[in-house]
Amino acid sequence: MRGPARAYALVMMAITTGTRNKEIRLANVEDVDTTMWTFDIIHVKGEGTYGLPRTVPLHPDVREILSLYLILRKKWLVDNNLNSHALFPSKDSADGYLSGNAIRSIKATVEDDLDVKFDLRMCRRTFGQRYLDSDVDIESVSVLMGHASTKTTEGFYSRKRLNKAIDNARNSWLSSGGQ
């Protein structure tokens, strides 16, 4: 499947689910629940050792492009006489899943369209930071990102911004009757 719908669906999934390259590459279409709008991330970093599968909510920002993509994906599979469980299938690989290089190539479609270069790891950081900026607590963000500790989340991905910390401090004064 070629085209911008797949590219934008892949990038928006990365931004709104915090998935790593491997996690999105090995995702199955059955991992997406468009009724509850959740995404089961099964093939996690540390799979089989320390990594645990997790479920993340599908942010409203991804729902429209993902819905369109799923329709186009189904048509593409029929047109190419393929049967694949891969969320982002490939007809060029033996296992039906895209390679890491193919993922980067698809992402390049979005980069060229927007004239912005980015690394998919930045999408993961964006995911964490967006939730923190929306006042989701660090523990919840850490769980959604699949981290064993908030230290990993804060140290490498996202931290509360200074202006949010100042606002929280001011709000605590106001709620306790201060000015």
Cβ burial of 9 (10 Å; 0-12, 13-18, 19+) is buried
Tens-digit pLDDT profile for residues 49-102: 888 899 999 999 999 999 999 999 999 999 999 999 999 999 999 899 999 999
Domain span holding position 114 = 4-175
Flag whether pLDDT at 177 surpasses 80: no
For residue 176, what are the contacts with CB-CB under 8 A and spacing of at least 6? Answer: none
* Model confidence, pTM: 0.84
Using 50, 70 and 90 to split pLDDT, how confident is the model at 163?
A: confident
Q: Contact, 141 vs 153, CB < 8 A?
A: yes
Q: What is the mean pLDDT of residues 6-12?
A: 96
Check residue 155 and give its pLDDT.
Answer: 81
Using 50, 70 and 90 to split pLDDT, how confident is the model at 48?
A: confident
Q: Domain containing 151 — which CATH number?
A: 1.10.443.10
Flag whether pLDDT at 154 surpasses 90: no
What's the total number of domains in the chain?
Answer: 1
E strands in 3-67: 32-33, 38-41, 54-57
